[in-house]
Structures are given as structure tokens and as C-alpha cells.
Amino acid sequence: MRGVLNAYGRAVLSQLHGRMLILSAVPFALSVLVWGVVLYFTLQPLLDWLTGHFFDYELYRYSSRWLEDMGFAVLKTVVVPLFAMLLLLPLMILTALIFIGVAAMPVIVRHVGSRHYPHLEKKQGGSLLKGVGKAMSLFLVFIVIWLCTLPLYAVPPLAIVSSALLWGWLTARVMSYDALSEHASEEEIGTIQRERRWGLLAIGVASGAAGSLPAIVWIGGAAIAVVFFPFLLAAAVWIYVLIFIFTGLWFEYYCLEALAQLRARGEPVEELA
């Protein structure tokens, strides 16, 4: 885990660099623009649709009883908006993750590579289209598993653990590919993802735990009023962007160091089938 901690310390210092702070503005603006338009046209129809189903299937009674048992009776009046947020959060995070990969990761790769690993040969084993394709396919797998774990939300500790592990896995797979796509060959990417899977998962889980902060912002705001949703959305997206940029730096330092060590060993790399 020393490599994980060393990469963390270097990422903290780089996060405070002016270039990285300015960088957060681009994916933030893109995410807010996209979700602002989407919610403007779909939020009220979604709330109406959910409200109808809650009445038809007596879900208000069951959800109210569950919230009372869990000590969250104050949220009974906003249970439908809360459920809507639960549905929207994964999609919102996916768009932020894709925008980070498209707009921020190339800058992060150049920033870390040129300053700390100028000696590494660039083998261009990945591409933007492959990265987006991998992110989408992994997200589909994530959604299936996430839907299967929804019953765990009845037991908050289990929900927190399962959510952190799921987001950790998704983030590790997507971010490690983006971090290595310019410098590593396709075979080297596969080797590092396999050999360093536990270190990558640790970074992903830590980032996934930090990613729970926007959900707390939304839930806290939902207890106040639905009218704050647009502002809470912007705040949540901004927090996600900052977390993902830091996560990108963390993965970049860890992955490029792993690549440097792999090449220093001079061992042949298995070709992917």
C-alpha cells in the first residue's frame, strides 16, 4: 500500500496547483449544462410518474414506516423526490466521469507525465473512443449489480459498504485505463490492471467513499425543499468534479509509477488475446 499512499500525497500537492483548480470548471460547466437541460424537461414528469406509482402500489405507507423505523421520519414528506434522486445519481455520476475522461484526463496525463515521468515512452495503447466505450460497458454492468443491491438500503451500513465497493470497482477500471492510455501499450494496461488490482481498488473505494458527499448534500437539501434541487444539483456536480479530478491525479501518479516499475523489470508483457 506504500505506492497508494505515495501517489495520494503527490496528488494532494498537484490538486492545489492553479492549473488543476481551473481545470475543474470545464467538466463542471458541461455537467451542469447537460443536467440542467435534462431536468428542466424531465424532472416534473418523473416526479408525477413516481407519485402515481407510489399511490397505486401503496408505497407511501411502506416507505413512511421504514423511514420512521430508521429514524428519518422528517423525510416522509419528500420520499418521492428522494427516490427520484436515487435514480438520477448514477446517471449524473456517469456523465461527470465521462466529462472528466474527455476534458480533464488528457490535461492530467500531460501535467503528471511531463513534470514527473518525462522519460516514459508513449505507446498510445488506448484511445478516447475506446475509453468512452469501456466506461459505458462497465457502467451497464454496474447498473445491473447496483439494482441487485438496492434491498441493502434497508440496512444503511451494508448499503454504504456495497456502494463504496461498487463505485470503487467502476472508478478503478475506468480511471486506470484513462491514466495509462497515452503512455502504456494495450498489453501493459492489462498487465498493470491485473497486477495492481488491489491497489487500484483501494484508490477507487476511497474515492467512492468521498463520492458519498454529494448524496449527503442532496438528501440534506431534500429535507428542506424541492425548490433547491437545481442548486443542490450544481453543488453535487461540483463536488463530484473536484473528487474525480483528485482521483484522476491519484490514479495517474499510481499508474505511471507502476508502468515505470514494470518497464524497469524488463519482463516480457503478455499479449492480449
Structural contact between residues 120 and 183, judged by C-beta atoms closer than 8 angstroms: yes
Q: Mark the ranges of the chain whose per-residue pLDDT is less than 50.
A: 271-273
Report which of 272, 257, 271, 267 is spatially closest to residue 11, judged by C-alpha positions.
257
- The C-alpha atoms of residue 160 and residue 183 are separated, in whole angstroms, by 35
The continuous run of DSSP H or E covering 31 comes out as: helix 25-56
> Could you give the CA distance from residue 27 to residue 5 in angstroms, rounded to a whole number?
27
Residue 124: closest CA among 43, 191, 189: 189
Indicate if the alpha-carbon torsion angle 245, 106, 203, 93 is positive or negative: positive
pLDDT at res. 273 = 38
Q: Which helix (DSSP H) or strand (DSSP E) does residue 192 occupy?
A: helix 186-195
- pLDDT for residue 256: 96
pTM: 0.76
Q: Which grid coordinates belong to 252?
A: 495517474
Determine how many CB atoms are found less than 10 A away from the CB of residue 158. Answer: 13
pLDDT of residue 208: 75
Q: How far apart are the first and last CA of the chain?
A: 30
- Confirm if 191 and 262 have CB atoms less than 8 A apart: yes
Distance CA 139, CA 145 (A): 10
Query: CA-to-CA distance for 222 and 219, rounded, in angstroms?
Result: 5
